[in-house]
């Protein structure tokens, strides 16, 4: 027998084991990479949700402030309108009084001429 003996079965077993180990290593590496990507995407998604919630809350607060401001302005304008109506009524009353006094003066003058 030669000094070098070749055992096909052991060669295939070792070769396949080496190949399997290489595939296993590459798959493990790829799984680790994908796990990192999934974690990154999840954290981005959570960050986006948090940002959306924060932005929505800020918009709601801004709407509440604007609504309150406009309600105050509306009340002020309503009060001013009522005031103006009151002035209008006062002016109408005074004009009526002036007309009545003018009629009285005219009547008194006409009576004094008789």
**Is pLDDT larger for residue 72 or for residue 109?**
72
Residue 109 predicted with pLDDT over 60: yes
Rounded distance between C-alpha atoms, residue 105 and residue 85, angstroms:
30
3-class DSSP state for residue 10?
Answer: helix
In this predicted structure, what is the pLDDT of residue 1? 46
35-83 pLDDT, tens per residue? 999 999 888 888 888 999 999 999 999 999 999 999 999 999 999 999 9
């Amino acid at each position: 027998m030669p000094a070098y003996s070749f055992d096909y079965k052991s060669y295939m077993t070792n070769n396949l084991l080496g190949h399997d180990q290489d595939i296993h290593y590459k798959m493990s590496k790829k799984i680790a990479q994908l796990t990192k990507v999934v974690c990154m995407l999840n954290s981005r998604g959570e960050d986006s949700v948090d940002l959306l919630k924060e932005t929505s809350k800020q918009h709601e607060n801004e709407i509440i402030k604007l609504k309150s401001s406009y309600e105050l302005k509306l009340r002020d304008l309503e009060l001013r309108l009522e005031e103006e109506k009151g002035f209008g009524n006062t002016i109408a009353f005074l004009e009526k009084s002036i007309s009545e006094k003018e009629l009285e003066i005219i009547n008194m003058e006409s009576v004094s001429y008789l």
